[in-house]
Structure 1
Amino acid sequence: MITRWTLGFLSGVNLTGNIAGKPYRNLAGANTDVILGKVRTFCAQRPDEILMKAIEPMIIDFPVVKQ
């Protein structure tokens, strides 16, 4: 369940960022093992933080879609 939520949240961050004038990112190559590994590491290091803070910065790891 956390995998689907995480990928859905990334997609939402991508869409709202684009609406706000930020570049749209290509999430097609998302490697769920890498993403979830980063989430687990973040949560282990910062157990009092909310999950969104682990995921939101990952958006810049994806390539910009040329428009």
Structure 2
Amino acid sequence: MTETFHDQKLPARRSLPLKAMAGCVTAAIGMSYAIGSYAAHAPRDVGIGASSCAATVEMLGDMHFDRIVTAWSSGFISGSNAGISGERARPRDIATVSEASILRHVRTFCAANPTETLGSAVATLFATLPDDH
């Protein structure tokens, strides 16, 4: 074992055959099309916001679920107040929104509209908030 690391030959580099390279390029193009197509038709709400009102009403009252609902709703309301893509609509006064008011609104809205989503319930709550002066 007199050979050292520096004395060893590196293995010959193998390049991908043209067919394999063309297959990789085709797969990459196909994946980018699929991702772009999904993004164009992605659901408006994701995560718990896409849950049906019927399922939401059924789970309300569970302390862990209530925290998830209020956390998601608070983020939705804050994000909506910040505007989307630089749009500056009139900001709403969100100071009065509390966990209790969110849960009360979601319970009332979802009981009356079981086929709607949690996201639509919170969007309705946001729309009812007064303008921030």
TM-score with structure 2 length normalisation?
Answer: 0.42
Partner residue of 1:3 out of 70, 73, 78: 70
Whose relative contact order is higher, 1 or 2, with alpha carbons under 8 Å and at least 6 apart? 1
Aligned to 1:54: 121
Cα distance per residue 1:5-49 (max 9 Å; x no partner): 1111111111126x3231112322312212211101111121111
| Other-structure match for 1:30 | 97
2:108 to 41, 59, 63: 41
Q: 1:49 to 1:60 in 2, by over 3 A?
A: closer
RMSD: 1.9
In structure 1, list runs of 5 or more residues that go unmatched.
none
CA distance in 2: counterparts of 1:7 and 1:45, whole angstroms: 22
How many angstroms does 1:3 deviate by? Answer: 0.9
Could you tell me the TM-score, scaled by structure 1's length? 0.74
How many pairs were matched up?
A: 65
CA distance in 2, matches of 1:65, 1:34: 18
Flag structure 2 segments of 5+ consecutive residues without an equivalent: 1-67
Larger radius of gyration: 2
